[in-house]
Amino acid sequence: MELSERKLKILKSIIDEYIDRGEPVGSKHLMEYGKISLSPATIRNEMSDLENMGYLDKPHASAGRVPSGNAYRLYVEELMQEYKTSSEQLDLLSELTRFKTEEKEKIVEKARKIMSKMTNYASITVSENLSDAVISRFETMIIDSESMLLVMVMPDGTVNTKHLNTGTELSYRDAETIKNSLNAHLAGRSLDSVVFSDIMSIEEEFGELKMLVNPILRIAYEASVGSEKKSVEVDGITNLLSYPEFKNVDKVKDLLGLFEQNGDTIKEFLPMENDESGLKVYIGDEENSKLSDTSIVFCSLPVGNKNTIFGIMGPKRMDYKKATNALKRLSQTLQSLAEGEKEQKTLAESGYYKEKDEKSDKE
């Protein structure tokens, strides 16, 4: 059954009031504070209909109503208004611009703390940890005039091989150069630590074969994927103690338990895949008692060369406007950071800075 405009207005007012006060909302309160110009009897009838439709719940020993999970879902998808970001929040986000994109761990940690401060909720990150993604040694083997075998020896002794078609004539000396360069710049290092200057050095040593650098880097990451682990980190968990839903210490302990053992429970509904739909909202229900009063707004954002899940966790009646806005602003900030460095890289490759320095010297 489709909700009438009047029912939608009443439902939105109830949700807004409950998010703000955390107490069941009655018809009298809606008349006084919810800007609903209807009689108490009409409001009660509409609230009764909304309850029968599954959008409102009536707590025991209370004349008021509280939103259901279905109500919050409708609110997030259709009813909530835009949240206005304060100058203080924008200043917090600007702190991320002090980092470079290759400083992934620092960016993720700082962003997590900023999200917690911006929302007064707990913040979560689920990252792919490449600290163990290391190739111990590279070897090359000529197959024919235009192809070679790239051999990658992993720390545990296993060997990964990849047939690489170069599309150009390849000599034994070329293969030796490729092997030596890869061992000098990549072997024994965390692949997540490879920065632009490393790639430039490799390209310079590859010479006319520099077009092979990016394909080889992709191959190296694919070969080390088995070493990747996902780590779950949380900030601002004490913020939750200020909400009545989390006054029970045992409930907070149960919630914290979800992040133990690498946070496997959290990962079940926070997939690492980059979903084109953007923000997602998990609204707590009875399927998992530890999350029944908890909601999480999350999205997958690129940091460096990998995606990281950023999530904001709060009570089921969390301020969804504030949480979704914080993540949207974070996405814009990270995108600006990446685009700024991309522009710097383009200028460097074009020789802009060299020409500028030479001009300054002449002046």
Confidence band of 196 (pLDDT split at 50, 70, 90)? confident
Report residue 4 as tokens.
Answer: 């009438």
Amino acid at 131: S
Query: What is the pLDDT at residue 233?
Result: 83
Q: Please, is 261 exposed, middle or buried when counting C-beta atoms within 10 Å of its C-beta (0-12, 13-18, 19+)?
A: exposed
pLDDT tens for 13-59 read 999 999 998 899 998 888 887 678 888 899 999 999 999 999 999 88
- How far CA 34 is from CA of 15, 21, 70, 274, in Å, comes to 10, 12, 21, 39
Query: What is the pLDDT at residue 12?
Result: 94
- pLDDT(130) > 50: no
Query: What is the pLDDT at residue 272?
Result: 46
Confidence band of 105 (pLDDT split at 50, 70, 90)? confident
Using DSSP's 3-state secondary structure scheme, residue 151 falls into strand
**Same fold yes or no, 87-130+229-345 and 137-227:** no
Which of 132-136, 266-270, 290-294 shows the lowest mean pLDDT across its residues?
Answer: 266-270
Query: What is the pLDDT at residue 14?
Result: 94
CA–CA distance, 75 with 100 (Å, rounded to integer)? 37
Query: What is the pLDDT at residue 276?
Result: 45
- pLDDT(356) > 80: no
Q: Which CATH architecture has domain 5-79?
A: Orthogonal Bundle (1.10)
Query: What is the pLDDT at residue 350?
Result: 61
- How far CA 355 is from CA of 303, 347, 349, 351, in Å, comes to 31, 10, 11, 6
Q: What is the b/e burial string over 70-98, where b = at least 16 CB atoms within 10 angstroms of the residue's CB?
A: ebbebbbeebbeebebeeebeebbeebee
Which of 78-82, 222-226, 267-271 shows the lowest mean pLDDT across its residues?
Answer: 267-271
- Do 266 and 298 meet the contact criterion of CB atoms below 8 Å apart? no
Using DSSP's 3-state secondary structure scheme, residue 175 falls into helix
pLDDT tens for 291-333 read 788 899 998 888 876 778 899 999 999 999 999 999 999 998 9
* Among candidate residues 323, 300, 320, the one with its CA nearest the CA of residue 116: 323
CA–CA distance, 36 with 44 (Å, rounded to integer)? 12
CATH of domain 137-227: 3.30.390
- pLDDT(4) > 70: yes
Confidence band of 132 (pLDDT split at 50, 70, 90)? low
Q: In what order do the strands lie in the sheet with 159-165?
A: 137-144, 147-153, 159-165
User: 189 or 113: which carries more pLDDT confidence?
Assistant: 113
pLDDT tens for 135-191 read 888 999 888 888 888 998 877 667 788 888 888 888 999 999 999 999 998 888 877
**Could you state, in order of their start, the residue ranges of all structural domains in the chain?**
5-79, 87-130+229-345, 137-227
Query: What is the pLDDT at residue 131?
Result: 46
Strand runs (DSSP E) across 132-286, as ranges? 137-144, 147-153, 159-165, 229-235, 280-283
Which of 52-61, 241-250, 273-282 shows the lowest mean pLDDT across its residues?
Answer: 273-282
- Do 223 and 152 meet the contact criterion of CB atoms below 8 Å apart? yes
Report residue 340 as tokens.
Answer: 């700024």
Topology of domain 87-130+229-345, CATH:
Beta-Lactamase (3.30.450)
- pLDDT(108) > 80: yes
3-state DSSP of 257-298: HCCCHHHHHHHHHCCCCCCCCCCEEEECCCCCHHHCCEEEEE
Query: What is the pLDDT at residue 327?
Result: 93
CA–CA distance, 113 with 104 (Å, rounded to integer)? 14
* Among candidate residues 165, 135, 168, the one with its CA nearest the CA of residue 152: 135
Query: What is the pLDDT at residue 253?
Result: 75
- Pairing mode, strands 122-129 and 229-235: antiparallel
Residue 178 has, within 13 A of its CA and on its CB side, a CA count of 29
Question: For the whole model, what pTM was predicted?
Answer: 0.66
List phi, psi (to 5°) of 158: -70, 155
- pLDDT(279) > 80: yes
Q: What is the mean pLDDT of the chain?
A: 81
Question: CB count, 10 Å around CB of 289?
Answer: 11
